Structure 1
Amino acid sequence: MDFLRRLLKTAVSVLFFFPYTLFAQLQVTFPTSRLVIQRNNNNQANVPIVGQCPANATQIQARLTVRQGGTSTGWITLDNAPANGVFQGSLTGITGGWYDLQVKAFAGNTEIASTSMDRIGVGEVFVTAGQSNSWGVNCYTGQANDDRVSIINYWTGQAGQFSENSLPFNVSHADLSSGIANTGMFPGAYLYVWGALGDRLVTQLGVPVMFYGASYSATNSKHWVHTANGEETYSNLSQNMPYRVLGVTILHYLKRTGARAVLWHQGEGDNYYQSYNDYLNNINTVIDKSRTQLGFGNLSWVVSRVSYIPAALGSEYVNHETDPNIIAAQNTLASQINNWQGPATDGMIYPTYRKGDSFHLHFDSDDCPALIDVWSQALPTSYFNNTQPSLPNRTVLLTTGYVFPFTTNPGQNVQVPYFSRVPVRVDNQYQVEMLSETGCMLATLTSGTGNPLTVTLPSWANGRYRFRVNSTSPAIMGELSEPITINGSGSGLPPGLQAHVLSTVRNGNWNDPQVWSCGWLPSSIDTTELKHVITLPTGYQAHTGLLRYNNGAQLIYQNGGMLRIGQN
């Protein structure tokens, strides 16, 4: 009798526990609640949905239900063949709005699991950037009331205090519910006026809005351009600050969601010290870097016209509190393709404004309502109609962070951080690959489950390289890191390098590594694609395994120049 009683108890436990286990295995790893995906100018976006499901699932369905604005989808097959507990798909052409997500897993025709996630946005994504009057100060009038305004609430009290091996992904309402002294926008800024500006934009556009904060106080255009150009330390700043606060936002967040614009407020620190051309060239370089780093679209910059420094801060500012050269450069930047004019705040001065600062340089909490007004006026509907957002061209789940130091030697250990939203299986390993600066695969250095991953730089390294973290289960290729320089005495390439397809990237001599897409010369095992006019110099013997010509390409042989094709 005791045996039968135990058997019955076990059977009941299995009946109740087994379905629970299946349902508990359905989890969405991307997106996350309150995240906003950038829409296109037709008010639509593709929403990637990725996660884990029961191993026996044969189909995943999903639907978006309107919470406020937008158009519900009904049930859509997201993944018709989930692979051993992992699903991935995209809901396409989703109208701008605020949604609740539901996901179901099926084994054949039987529903075996379900989950839901509230508040998924299709709308507008912005990054604020610049110096102290972009960094701001928290004010109660600056928080959002509308539920559809989002930030990643992250605050340490100082700019640039974050770790790329533990990046946040909890998106919050843009309010001060965590306390006026404990609220900020990742990776670096106060909430300031941006929540209330979000309210204005939501009312104007009818879609959710999200802000990231990438400002750094007391910086001028030289700080930004030097670090955008890859200097690890400039002036009194290290760890590639200030550009890295913007770079981290682009690499780890905007690559996933897309963006409308960078809202740029900077120029006060350049008053008197930079010419029109200096400021124009410096910020153009920063803009170009941000667009290259994002890798898609033509990231819009809304450029404020600002230069005001009170005369009390230095004799150079007497009769020079504003700088017409800086303002002219900002106007030029704002007039460039896909850019726009931001607010002009040089006229907003003491005694009406900036009363809380003893030098009357910084805006204070009393100024927030006026600043919300000028920013709202700077972003009319015509801005959204006449600029193009930057939209992801693929689903990005795994991004590789900055690797320090930027200049090092073979044999040294470096830490490679990453940010993963991959729905990994229990047997997953993360692998670190080393690539040429142009992205050609060279070697796998290590694998593991930690973050960051420690790698020892190989003895053959000599040049500029990037790293890439990939997952193995499922197999997901990550995004490339920023480059570092390794000063060694080796060849720069590993022994036994596998064959590559090398294409020309500009006109030049065959024996110039910068002519070739991988940054090295073709060998007898490589395939070469000529897309330009290439010269074989006098007496030079080149090698390739296979040669292809594109239209317009030309190979010029100088005296004694020779090309051997094939491995013999």
Structure 2
Amino acid sequence: MTQTMKKFILLGMALACAIRSLAQLSISLPVAGVYQSTSTNTSVVLAGQYIGSSLSNYRIEYEVYRLDVSDSHYLSTQQTWTTITTNPTYGLFRTTLSLPIGWYSVAVRVWNISTSSAGSSNSVVFGVGDVFVISGQSNAQGGSSSLPSLNTTYDGIVSHNYTDGCNNNLPPYPVMTALSTYNSIGPNGTNSWCWAYLGQQLQSGAPSGGKPIAFFNAAHGGSSSLNWKESANGTNTTNQYTGSVWCGGSYSGPAQPYFSLKTTLQYYAAIFGVNALLWHQGEADNEYPSGRTNRSTYRQNLLDLIAQTRTDYGSSLRWLVSEASFQGANPTGYETNTDVTSAQDDIVSNSSYDPSDYNYKGVITDGYGTSYRDITDKVHFREDRNNAVSLLGNLWNTAIGNATSGPIGGVTPPTITMSKVGSNWTLTCQGTYSAYRWINMSSANTNSPVGTSFSYSGSTGGSYACLVQSSNGKWAISQTIYTNCGSCREGAFANWSEEEEGIQTKAYPVPFDKDLTIEFTIPADSRVRLELIDESGRILQKVTDSMHIKGTFKYPISLDSSPSSILFYRLNVNGLGITKKLLKVQ
């Protein structure tokens, strides 16, 4: 799982030089991903908790660095050290950043006022850019194993590497990672398809450093316009290729395929915001002879679907509707269906059918025949057939550039407070919501809450966040609070240690000369970032930044030369930072 080591400079961070664990500091917001840009500057909440040893007089500060989207190397300092709060109760901090389009690393540190020195530190990498929701059928979902060769795995093109097209619950907690060729795109995308390639095209000509891009894919292969309409109305629908209820006869959840699109909008797009919904579907409505949908029927099916998405997410949700119907296996003369493509065109060009200003033309693909498609099914594009998947990405790049109207920002995360009496603590979600799900963040299961009221109480240590749903159906996630924290200023809370969270970490040999191994154990599947840093906070090597399954990992590292005699390694597990000093042979 080792990735190519990368370097970028983070200036101005000073670290205490103790051998013990130094960085007991959590950053839980923003979620490491991409937030939809809505104006010149977009608001992003930064929140977390200092959970290290108690200090008598300290403040929490942050500094913002602008990065390159291609490999996260340092470009410039966006904002120098700024105070968030001084001597916070329970170590909790929260502020709002205002940032233009860009890829960022935000460093947070504890500053000991009494000694005028820096202590615990951590950082989070995220972007402000464009977020796209994808839907339709297989030429949107990812219909081939023949894919474009990417120039590089961009750090700034991200997705949730997760797939479960018939899940009848919320997706897991969003763990966003760089989109590589065969990553899934949650909740349904089977691979990067044309989307990673599109992301690179969208970044061309973007502001210095590139525009970060995120994708969520709620397409279902083989779905017809009738399947989408019926399921959007809450009715189970029949898959015309299998003859059974969508997702199989044993499926008993909310009607699919629409439910996964609904949760994508109300969960992923609510958290991060959205630029547009990219729609590519129509081939199933040209299935000769029985599945050839007529113009008025297709048009009404799709209009009903669009209306339902705007009811479930927001009236200004922008749709880019493609013209697509090609079925190359149909008899000659029936490969395309002009009723379907005319209906698709009606929706974006005729206000008498939909008076909104939020429907735009997507890609037009019927002119690309069998020489661009799988030689067997004659429907799915393949990269080894005239670079067809790259072509599809280029078509989407043009279509997106032609669309106007404003994107929709993410929901502001709720604020959580903590109070206690003796060893008993209570977490309270501020504000009024229609649903609450308190999540034990040691496992972060969004569908197995430990509490469903506006508050949650206990007497033992743990880490918790609250997933809330507003009256319009949108979900938002709060910061994570550690209830057993060394910096708590009221009551007898024990000092926190990483072992309490089930995390173990060590480096050997001690001391080391040129070669060493960093070993760590995590208790659950987690997003892990491991870096080597010097005493000024400069990142010397990014060892890994990816999803890791539960278990123990060992990373051998060779340092032929080092610009500093004092080195540290920083392990970040789902936002929790742990920094330890490395002893080097003198």
TM-score range, shorter chain: 0.5 to 0.7
Q: TM-score, normalised by structure 1?
A: 0.62
Query: 337, 347, 355: which is aligned to 1:333?
Result: 347
CA distance in 1, matches of 2:160, 2:411: 27
Mark the CA change 1:373 to 1:318 in structure 2 (over 3 Å): closer, same or farther: closer
Deviates further, 113-122 or 252-261: 113-122
2:265 counterpart of 1:268: no
Q: TM-score, normalised by structure 2?
A: 0.60
CA contact (8 A) 2:158 2:179 kept: yes
Query: For 1:98, what is the secondary structure of its paired residue?
Result: strand
CA contact (8 A) 1:50 1:88 kept: yes
Shift of 1:391: 0.9
Residue 319 of structure 1 corresponds to 333
Cα distance per residue 1:292-317 (max 9 Å; x no partner): 3334x72211111101123x44xxx6
Shift of 1:393: 4.8
Shift of 1:349: 0.9
CA distance in 1, matches of 2:344, 2:213: 26
Q: When the two structures are aligned, how many residues end up with a matched partner?
A: 408
2:108 counterpart of 1:103: yes
Query: For 1:478, what is the secondary structure of its paired residue?
Result: strand
Residue 307 of structure 2 corresponds to 288
CA distance in 2, matches of 1:229, 1:374: 31
CA distance in 1, matches of 2:89, 2:369: 61
Query: For 2:384, what is the secondary structure of its paired residue?
Result: helix
Task: Give matches, 1:57-206, under 5 Å.
Answer: 59-68=59-68, 72-79=78-85, 82-92=88-98, 94-106=99-111, 113-117=119-123, 119-136=125-142, 137-141=144-148, 143=150, 145=152, 147-152=154-159, 154=161, 159-160=165-166, 164=170, 167-176=172-181, 180=182, 183-189=183-189, 190-205=191-206, 206=210
Shift of 1:472: 3.3
Residue 30 of structure 1 corresponds to 29
Residue 392 of structure 1 corresponds to 410
CA distance in 1, matches of 2:37, 2:113: 35
Mark the CA change 1:112 to 1:84 in structure 2 (over 3 Å): closer, same or farther: farther
CA distance in 1, matches of 2:151, 2:346: 33
Mark the CA change 1:29 to 1:304 in structure 2 (over 3 Å): closer, same or farther: same
Mark the CA change 1:66 to 1:59 in structure 2 (over 3 Å): closer, same or farther: same
Mark the CA change 1:469 to 1:305 in structure 2 (over 3 Å): closer, same or farther: farther
CA distance in 2, matches of 1:70, 1:275: 56
Shift of 1:348: 0.8
CA distance in 1, matches of 2:43, 2:334: 50
Mark the CA change 1:187 to 1:396 in structure 2 (over 3 Å): closer, same or farther: farther
Residue 220 of structure 2 corresponds to 216
2:271 counterpart of 1:256: yes
Task: Give matches, 1:387-536, under 5 Å.
Answer: 387-395=405-413, 451=445, 452-453=447-448, 470=454, 472=456, 478-480=468-470
Query: For 1:105, what is the secondary structure of its paired residue?
Result: strand
Mark the CA change 1:61 to 1:184 in structure 2 (over 3 Å): closer, same or farther: same
Greater RCO structure (CA 8 Å; 6+ sep): 2
Deviates further, 95-104 or 167-176: 167-176
Mark the CA change 1:78 to 1:246 in structure 2 (over 3 Å): closer, same or farther: farther
CA contact (8 A) 1:51 1:423 kept: no
CA contact (8 A) 2:112 2:119 kept: no
Q: Percent identity?
A: 24
Mark the CA change 1:427 to 1:191 in structure 2 (over 3 Å): closer, same or farther: farther
Mark the CA change 1:468 to 1:294 in structure 2 (over 3 Å): closer, same or farther: farther
CA distance in 2, matches of 1:144, 1:161: 33
Residue 520 of structure 1 corresponds to none
Query: For 2:185, what is the secondary structure of its paired residue?
Result: coil
Deviates further, 99-108 or 186-195: 99-108
Q: Which letter maps to 1:359?
A: D
CA contact (8 A) 2:438 2:449 kept: no
Mark the CA change 1:301 to 1:471 in structure 2 (over 3 Å): closer, same or farther: farther
Q: Which letter maps to 1:38?
A: Q
CA contact (8 A) 2:159 2:185 kept: yes
Shift of 1:476: 5.5
CA contact (8 A) 2:147 2:382 kept: no
Mark the CA change 1:251 to 1:65 in structure 2 (over 3 Å): closer, same or farther: same
Mark the CA change 1:263 to 1:226 in structure 2 (over 3 Å): closer, same or farther: same
Residue 45 of structure 2 corresponds to 48
Mark the CA change 1:384 to 1:364 in structure 2 (over 3 Å): closer, same or farther: closer
CA contact (8 A) 2:439 2:449 kept: no
CA contact (8 A) 2:160 2:184 kept: yes
Deviates further, 422-431 or 301-310: 422-431
2:247 counterpart of 1:228: no
CA distance in 2, matches of 1:38, 1:290: 18
CA contact (8 A) 2:383 2:390 kept: no
Shift of 1:268: 1.3
Residue 401 of structure 1 corresponds to none
CA contact (8 A) 1:155 1:188 kept: yes
CA contact (8 A) 1:145 1:199 kept: no
Cα distance per residue 1:108-139 (max 9 Å; x no partner): 56666433335321111112211011112243
Q: Which letter maps to 1:60?
A: I
CA contact (8 A) 1:218 1:269 kept: yes
CA distance in 1, matches of 2:237, 2:392: 35
CA distance in 2, matches of 1:378, 1:36: 20
CA distance in 1, matches of 2:39, 2:438: 42
Superposition RMSD in Å: 4.1
CA distance in 2, matches of 1:476, 1:337: 36
CA distance in 2, matches of 1:339, 1:292: 15
CA distance in 2, matches of 1:294, 1:302: 16
Mark the CA change 1:447 to 1:167 in structure 2 (over 3 Å): closer, same or farther: closer
Residue 349 of structure 1 corresponds to 369
Residue 548 of structure 2 corresponds to none
Mark the CA change 1:230 to 1:24 in structure 2 (over 3 Å): closer, same or farther: farther
CA contact (8 A) 2:27 2:47 kept: yes
In our comparison, the structure showing a higher alpha carbon Rg is: 1
Mark the CA change 1:78 to 1:299 in structure 2 (over 3 Å): closer, same or farther: farther
Query: For 2:469, what is the secondary structure of its paired residue?
Result: coil
CA distance in 2, matches of 1:125, 1:217: 22
Mark the CA change 1:118 to 1:268 in structure 2 (over 3 Å): closer, same or farther: same
CA distance in 1, matches of 2:192, 2:412: 30
